[in-house]
Each structure stands twice: as C-alpha cells, then as structure tokens.
C-alpha cells in the first residue's frame, strides 16, 4: 500500500481553509494517479492502492467540509463516496478470494469441494464488482470528477485569497 | 454510523486549534463504544467502533505534521484497532454466509433426493442418497465455519488487548489540548 504523500506547506498553513485546499488538491491527484490497471483482476494491488487513496481523499473532504462551498462540496463528496464504495466492493471480493484460496490449500483434497463452490461464487461477485467499477470509472471520466475536485479547491482558494 | 458533528470549527482560524477540536470529538466518539464492545456478541458496536477508529486514524494521520509525534503514534494505535476490528467484521459477515451456503446446498440435496422417489412411494430407499450431489461439499464448509468461529474468538481476545493499550495511552488528553 502506498504511503500518503506529504502535503507541501500543510504545517505552515495560515488557516484551516488553506490546509484544506492544499490537502484536497494532493489527495485528489493521488486518487487519479492510481487509476491505471485497477480493472486487472490478476493483480489486486492496483485496486487496493486506488481504494486507499480514495479513502484518504474522502476522509480529508469530511474533515475539511466546513471550508468549502456547502452545496457544491456535498455533491462532490457523495461522488467520492460512491467511488470508495465501488472500489470497496471489488476489494472485498479480492480479499475474500485470497483468504479462501489459503483455506482451500490447507484442507484435504476430498474436503475442498465446498470451499471451491464458495470460491466460484466469490469470483462471480468479483467479476460483477469489476464491471460496476468499469462503468463508474467511465462515468467519472465523462463527468470530469478529477477536474471538478481540483476546481473547487482552486475556486475556494481564490475566493478566500489563499496563496497558491 | 454517522459521524458526530464537530461544533465551532472556524475555516479562517488556525489549523492546530481546529484539528484538536476534531480529534477531541472523534476520540470521544471512539470511547463511547468502550462499554458495549466488552460484549463479544455485540456485532453492531464492534462495527461502529471500527468506523470510529478509522475516523480517529485519518484525522491523526493528516494532522501529524501539526499535532506532533503523539498524533503519529495515536494514528498507528487507531489503525491497529481498525485492522483487528476489520478482521472480526469479516468473520461476522463470513460465518452467516457460509452457514447460508450449507443450508442452500442441503436444501438442493433434499429436493433432489425427494424427487428421486416415485410420487406414490410409501418410503425412501437409502440408495436415493446418491442423488445428494452436494454431499462432498458439507465437510469442507463445516470445517471452514469451525475455523472462522475459532479465528473470531482469537481476534476478539487480540482486540481486547489492543483496546486496553489504546485506552492506557490516553490519546484524547494528549491531543485535544486539555492535557497540555
């Protein structure tokens, strides 16, 4: 799992709002940097990294919510939550499959049929979750979520005369 | 679980004071589950505490450059709590799922074995058992449930130790400004 990137100038921020703007910008970029290959189910770390980055962005948005225009920000936060939940559904299936693979390996071959049945169900769920994620990522691109997140930070900074 | 509202935040005020206000509320929120989670069967309280621990962790991770090393240590403790509660949650979701699968497989077998009999049959020949196609699946799944229940008990004991350490650290007093 990737460590959170330090937010330049965070500790020196003159106000809570200035720190909010800096943090939302950095955490937004982190989410979209991890976008590539998330639909590849042969390497589950990609979706994990994007999920962790999305959770950090969501947490930052919740912490700094009072610093941004209420209506616009609430809508963006809702979209980030949907992304976090959709990534979470894929990740849950990935983790459950890995755990069941380990259990199956410890069982005598004659007793594996039931766990293999469960594994087949989990793989179908993983596929469904991946399709849902593919659809959502397409939607996020066409709705320009990345750009709108950066824009709300920039506009808030400009309105409050926060130095860039 | 909906987060408690943090009152008195001032966007134009200093970062440090605002963060400490949030930490105080989030740590109190976490401690509010301290009594309920002593009942290992209170699945909802354990789940809510996990969410509360996650919120504490994130605000401390974010605030560490301003709040200092106590925040970093607190974030690590909150993460340990979140991790073990997450594993317990997986067991609490997984056990009923496996039990439901066993029930479903048994019902399929009951239907298949019953349907093998003539509609006018007065009894069922044990040879019909061969129609129970899922019979090889039960043993592994029953073993899996036993393992998950045992793992849940081990994890709960680990959670109690982690929680005791968290409480001893008196994170709230160190970080919300009242302990200074």
* Nearby residues of A27 by Cβ (< 8 Å), 6 or more positions away: A4, A53, A56, A57, A60
Distance CA B111, CA B132 (A): 9
* pLDDT tens track for B77-100: 999 999 999 999 999 999 999 999
What does pTM read for this prediction? Answer: 0.91
For chain B, give every domain's residue range: 15-175
CATH of domain A16-159: 1.40.20.10
Whether residue B51 lies within 8 A of chain A, CB to CB, comes out as no
pLDDT of A101 above 60: yes
Distance CA B47, CA A82 (A): 20
* Nearby residues of B91 by Cβ (< 8 Å), 6 or more positions away: B148, B149, B151, B152, B155
Whether residue A33 lies within 8 A of chain B, CB to CB, comes out as no
pLDDT of B180 above 50: no
Neighboring chain A residues of B59 at a CB cutoff of 8 Å:
59, 63
Q: How far is A60 from chain B (nearest CA, A)?
A: 8
- In total, chain B counts a number of residues equal to 180
DSSP A91-111: HHHHHHHHHHHHHHHHS-GGG
ipTM over cut 0.95: no
* pLDDT tens track for A105-114: 999 998 899 9
pLDDT of B177 above 70: no
Please give the pLDDT value at position B2: 87
Neighboring chain A residues of B14 at a CB cutoff of 8 Å:
15-16
Mean pLDDT, residues B58-72 taken together:
95
Mutate to test the interface with B, among A21, A113, A125 (most CBs of B within 10 A): A113
A158 — pLDDT class (breaks 50, 70, 90): confident
Query: Contact B14/A16 with Cβ under 8 angstroms?
Result: yes
Please give the pLDDT value at position B176: 63
Burial of B61 (0-12, 13-18, 19+ CB in 10 A): buried
Neighboring chain B residues of A119 at a CB cutoff of 8 Å:
none
3-state secondary structure of B15: helix
* pLDDT tens track for A24-79: 999 999 999 998 889 999 999 999 999 999 999 999 999 999 999 999 999 999 99
């Amino acid at each position: 799992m990737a460590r959170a990137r330090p937010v330049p100038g965070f500790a020196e921020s003159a106000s809570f709002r200035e720190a909010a703007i800096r943090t939302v910008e950095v955490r937004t970029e982190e989410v979209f940097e991890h976008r590539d290959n998330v639909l590849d189910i042969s390497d589950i770390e990609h979706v994990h990294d994007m999920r962790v980055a999305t959770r950090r962005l969501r947490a930052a948005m919740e912490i700094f919510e009072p610093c941004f225009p209420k209506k616009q920000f609430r809508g963006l936060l809702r979209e980030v939550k949907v992304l976090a939940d959709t990534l979470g559904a894929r990740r849950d299936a990935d983790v459950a499959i890995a755990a069941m693979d380990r259990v199956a390996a410890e069982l005598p071959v004659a007793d594996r049929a039931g766990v293999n049945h469960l594994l087949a169900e989990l793989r179908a769920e993983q596929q469904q979750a991946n399709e849902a994620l593919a659809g959502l990522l397409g939607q996020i691109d066409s709705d320009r979520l990345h750009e709108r997140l950066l824009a709300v930070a920039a506009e808030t900074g400009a309105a409050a005369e926060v130095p860039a | 679980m909906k987060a408690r509202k943090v009152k008195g935040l001032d966007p134009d005020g200093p970062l440090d004071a605002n963060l400490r206000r949030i930490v105080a509320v989030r740590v109190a929120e976490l401690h509010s589950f301290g009594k309920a989670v002593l009942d290992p069967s209170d699945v909802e309280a354990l789940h809510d505490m996990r969410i509360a621990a996650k919120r504490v962790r994130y605000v401390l991770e974010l605030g560490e450059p301003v709040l200092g090393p106590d925040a970093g240590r607190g974030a690590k403790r909150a993460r340990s709590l979140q991790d073990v509660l997450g594993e317990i949650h997986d067991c609490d979701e997984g056990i009923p799922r496996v039990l439901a699968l066993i029930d479903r497989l048994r019902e399929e077998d009951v239907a298949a074995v019953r349907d093998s009999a003539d509609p006018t049959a007065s009894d069922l020949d044990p040879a019909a058992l061969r129609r129970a196609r899922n019979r090889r699946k039960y043993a592994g799944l029953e073993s899996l449930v036993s393992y998950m229940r045992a793992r849940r008990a081990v994890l709960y004991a680990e959670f109690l130790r982690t929680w005791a350490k968290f409480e001893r650290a008196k994170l709230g007093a160190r970080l919300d400004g009242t302990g200074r």
